[in-house]
Amino acid sequence: MKIEVGKDNPKLRQKSREIEKIDKNIWQLSLVMKETLKENNGVGLAAPQVGQSLRMFVFEDLETKEIFTFINPIIKKMSSEIIEVEEGCLSLPNWWGEVERSKKITVEGIILEKNSKNRRKWRFSDIEACIIQHEIDHLDGILFVDKAKNLHYQTPKSLNSKYEI
């Protein structure tokens, strides 16, 4: 699946709509997004990044490497403790910048699983909390470059083991 690129891309700048019904199209989109995430070596990918204005993203658990699909996520609680991480984005290839994010968050939503359509809450911290915040920003039409300090361009040869999310 093609990833939308560009900081002025209108598909990346609109607020996504909630998913009202989890049907076979949503399941199929989830599978395609997971494959796209893997193919591009990312750790997070929001539906707007593949041209779908839906409140949905996929996220790789950094420990287990399992990829989850979040539907209609809402950040319910954010810690006052802030961490600064260097972020990149699959929609802004090779651009990096330091972004301040809450160290801990509580997210409410649906994780797409067999027979799971109930809203639940999850807690995330450190880099995973930052990834989730980055993806939820995408759902609101916000890109990391809107928040980044020390924005810089690095070609693939100069990249170390950074995450593009």
Cβ(67)–Cβ(59) under 8 Å?
yes
Q: How many CA atoms lie within 13 A of 82 on its CB side?
A: 5
135 catalytic residue (yes or no): yes
Distances (CA, A) of 67 to 36, 89, 98, 114, 126: 12, 17, 25, 14, 18
Q: How many CB atoms lie within 10 A of CB 2?
A: 8
| Selected catalytic residue, list 60, 87, 135, 164 | 135
Please identify every residue annotated as catalytic: 135
